[in-house]
A and B are shown apart, each in its own frame.
Chain A
């Protein structure tokens, strides 16, 4: 038991803001020399979640951007935390990825220690306490959703460590587009198919109306019975079929002279690497 004499004193452990001060000093020093601190790659995203009759549905687009270039056309933004809890991540890609992986490990250990399946509030509290400790420098905005003994729940967590518990949520650069779809058509206790369609429509609004979001819609349906991870549930922006042929006929450009210089090359090493071109 803790000593009552130390109870009302502030333990020096409390909130530690030393790293925030160090970062501010480093940025000032760098800008003096004319360098800019490197910018982290953000996902520029639309993520959404809603509570329906039997559980929660999480949705996300699949585009990862590096400033104005699409770095990944089909990335996974819905991360596994526990068998009954998944998490969508927006903001800095690396931060969201690593944070959710660390949380997943911690939650598994915690669940083994308590001997009970994990609670969504536990995940939310651990994430928000870590984000608050880093004062917003971990740039990940998350939507945590899951079904546990307290029923289906949905929480949003912002980079500075604040959280909100709501029946429907959207985050990322496409949040404004997606939330308009929810505000129009959301009802409490919707049926599964209608709810999936609504989340799909919300993410699609983000894909079409936000430059930072695109490619496909991923859905994750979590109910008491289990999880249905629908990767590539909808592909609204597939490459179209080219109508005409623009190839020039053979012989359009006449050949005047031809010189062949053979190069003798030996094959030293051969390796095959498959590329994901879809």
Chain B
């Protein structure tokens, strides 16, 4: 069986972002599929938009890569004009404007997360269709359906950075276990005022749960 390049290249995915006091934790799986073939099993879906602002991409790989490039350019330009780091809300609005204006043509579900001086750690979700809303914790992608219950029961406000990292890794591992379109490794990043910490959890190191 041969992979058909005519099928769109999608990041059917699980992505997640959590706010904590002083920053955000973001995470994603690493699978990109073309039909039923995995075109990239180590994808990096956590894309930097600016020094302290990232986006998590789900949906069409081509659409989200193109949107992220366009928004990074616009935000970089805006930041130079302002002569200060841009706000996460600005980045989120740029994504929303593009995703809403071209909503019929694009297939992109994006979570924008980062840290800025005005409001600290923030997570904004821009699902398909172009809505924008700020949430303390947000999940997206095809695998997110399987972990809403887990998120709702396990999330509590006031978690530390380490608790958020563990919470995100657990949630993504559960989603990857159940969703065929998510898998590979778990990529995590913690964004704070002082900088960025990226980590990878390989397949054999993922948290394990009950499996029938």
Query: Which residues in window 134-191 of A have CB below 8 A to B?
Result: 135-136, 139, 141, 156, 158-164, 166, 171-176
Tell me if A8 counts as interface (CB < 8 A to partner B): yes
Q: Which stretch (B18-26, B38-46, B170-178, B186-194) binds chain A?
A: B38-46
Tell me if A91 counts as interface (CB < 8 A to partner B): yes
| CB-defined contacts of A64 to chain B, threshold 8 Å | none
| CB-defined contacts of A174 to chain B, threshold 8 Å | 2
Chain B interface mostly helix, strand, loop or mixed? mixed
| CB-defined contacts of B155 to chain A, threshold 8 Å | none
Q: Are A160 and B81 in contact (CB under 8 A)?
A: no
Q: Are B61 and A162 in contact (CB under 8 A)?
A: yes
What string of 1s and 0s marks CB contacts (under 8 Å) between B83-103 and chain A? 000000000001001100110
For the complex, count residues of B whose C-beta is within 8 A of A.
31
Closest chain B residue, CB of each to CB of A141: B5
User: Given that A160-B60, A161-B62, A164-B32 are known contacts, is A210 also in contact with B2, CB under 8 Å in the complex?
Assistant: yes
Tell me if A208 counts as interface (CB < 8 A to partner B): no
Give CA–CA (A128, B68) in the complex, Å: 13
Q: Choose among B5, B37, B42, B43 the residue with the greatest number of A CB atoms under 10 Å from its CB.
A: B5
What string of 1s and 0s marks CB contacts (under 8 Å) between A97-118 and chain B? 0000000000000000000000
User: Given that A158-B34, A160-B62 are known contacts, is A173 also in contact with B97, CB under 8 Å in the complex?
Assistant: no
Tell me if B212 counts as interface (CB < 8 A to partner A): no
Query: Which residues in window 51-81 of B have CB below 8 A to A?
Result: 60-63, 65-66, 70, 74, 77-78, 81
Give CA–CA (A131, B70) in the complex, Å: 15
Q: Are B2 and A212 in contact (CB under 8 A)?
A: yes
| CB-defined contacts of B60 to chain A, threshold 8 Å | 160, 162
Q: Are A164 and B62 in contact (CB under 8 A)?
A: no
Tell me if B1 counts as interface (CB < 8 A to partner A): yes
| CB-defined contacts of B62 to chain A, threshold 8 Å | 128, 131-132, 136, 158, 160-162
- Residue of A7, A20, A91 near B74 (CB, 8 A) is A7
Query: Which residues in window 84-128 of B have CB below 8 A to A?
Result: 94, 97-98, 101-102, 105
Q: Are B66 and A161 in contact (CB under 8 A)?
A: yes
Tell me if A85 counts as interface (CB < 8 A to partner B): no
Tell me if B9 counts as interface (CB < 8 A to partner A): yes
Give CA–CA (A159, B60) in the complex, Å: 12
| CB-defined contacts of B78 to chain A, threshold 8 Å | 7-8
Give CA–CA (A108, B102) in the complex, Å: 34
| CB-defined contacts of A141 to chain B, threshold 8 Å | 5
| CB-defined contacts of A128 to chain B, threshold 8 Å | 62, 65-66
Closest chain B residue, CB of each to CB of A4: B81
Closest chain A residue, CB of each to CB of B61: A162
Q: Are B2 and A166 in contact (CB under 8 A)?
A: no
Give CA–CA (A176, B101) in the complex, Å: 38
Tell me if A90 counts as interface (CB < 8 A to partner B): yes
Closest chain B residue, CB of each to CB of A164: B40
Q: Are B2 and A163 in contact (CB under 8 A)?
A: no
Nearest Cβ on chain A to B41's Cβ, whole angstroms:
9
| CB-defined contacts of A17 to chain B, threshold 8 Å | 102, 105
A-B contact pairs, 17 of them (CB 8 A): A17-B102, A20-B105, A90-B5, A129-B66, A131-B62, A158-B5, A158-B9, A159-B5, A159-B6, A160-B9, A161-B66, A162-B32, A162-B61, A164-B40, A164-B43, A172-B5, A176-B2
- With A20-B105, A160-B60, A162-B9 known, 4 other A-B pairs at CB within 8 A are A7-B77, A159-B5, A159-B6, A160-B8
Interface residues of A (CB under 8 A from B): 2, 4, 7-8, 10, 14-15, 17, 20, 90-91, 128-129, 131-132, 135-136, 139, 141, 156, 158-164, 166, 171-176, 210, 212
10 closest pairs, A vs B, by CB? A162-B61, A160-B62, A162-B62, A161-B62, A173-B2, A164-B40, A162-B9, A141-B5, A158-B9, A132-B66
